Amino acid sequence: MNIFNLVSKKYALLPVIFFPSIDRVFSVIVEDSAFLATCVFSSAKLLFAGFAIGVIAGVITGIAVGFNKVISYWINPLVRAIGPMPPTAWIPIVLVVFPTTFAGSVFLIALSVWFPTTIMTAGGIQNIPNAYFEVASTLGAGRYYQILKVGIPAAMPQMFLGIFNGAGISFVTLMTAELLGVKNGIGWYINWQKDMMAYANVYAGLIIIAVSFYLLVMLLFKVRDRILVWQKGVIKW
């Protein structure tokens, strides 16, 4: 930190307008804390709405594809065709189809989470040894019991890998989605300050994004460890 202050603020070895001193960056966080908190809250609403929809849709699609060969036959080509496309490629269509930019942004984030969650959930189910289901069937378990009590728990490690991958992509999509015309948000704030050439504010926004996303990932780890306490150590990060 001291070295950065020397090369930026003290000796101006770096362009001062693009590389403000660390104390200026942290002063922005303190002085604009109320407005930055509003932006973080707005981004959180957008992210959680899209993330929740994407996870639910991805898990349902993955379970259906993994357990039903007919559904897999019809849905798999669609998943493989649409899924690899970057969510931001849908922006021109989103701007026309959705009535509000918030709804369109939620769709983009949900789409970014849906694909990896679907693929990993379906793959986890399809890779379950048949012996698990044979033993359950021998003990009298019906089809739905095998799905709920055997298949889904056994596929959960893979399912969470898909959710984690989707979370990383959703963070990137959130920053892009906030450029569609939303009135506030941390991604919008950074872009606005960049246009104003206020790079101290830009770096302040980047720091807040880094801290916020780190906390969200840690929260996902806690949820995963709580749900998969019986499979501790199966998933490695």
Say if residues 44 and 51 touch (Cβ distance below 8 Å): no
Q: Where are the domains of the chain?
A: 22-231
Each of the 237 residues of the chain gets a pLDDT tens digit; together they read: 556 555 555 555 556 666 777 777 888 888 888 888 998 898 999 999 999 999 999 999 999 988 888 888 888 888 888 877 888 888 888 888 888 888 888 999 999 999 999 999 998 888 888 888 878 888 777 778 888 888 888 888 889 889 988 888 888 888 888 877 677 888 888 888 888 888 888 888 889 988 988 998 899 888 888 887 766 655 454
Cβ contacts of residue 25 below 8 Å, gap of 6+?
Answer: 200, 203, 204, 207
Say if residues 206 and 190 touch (Cβ distance below 8 Å): yes
Q: What is the pTM for the complete model shown?
A: 0.84
pLDDT of residue 117: 92
pLDDT of residue 90: 85
Alpha carbon distance 92, 197 (integer Å):
28
Class of 22-231 in CATH: mainly alpha
Alpha carbon distance 128, 123 (integer Å):
9
For the chain, counts of helices (H) and of strands (E): 11, 0
Question: Residue 111 corresponds to which tokens in the numbers above?
Answer: 């789409």
Q: What are the start-end ranges of the E strands in the chain?
A: none
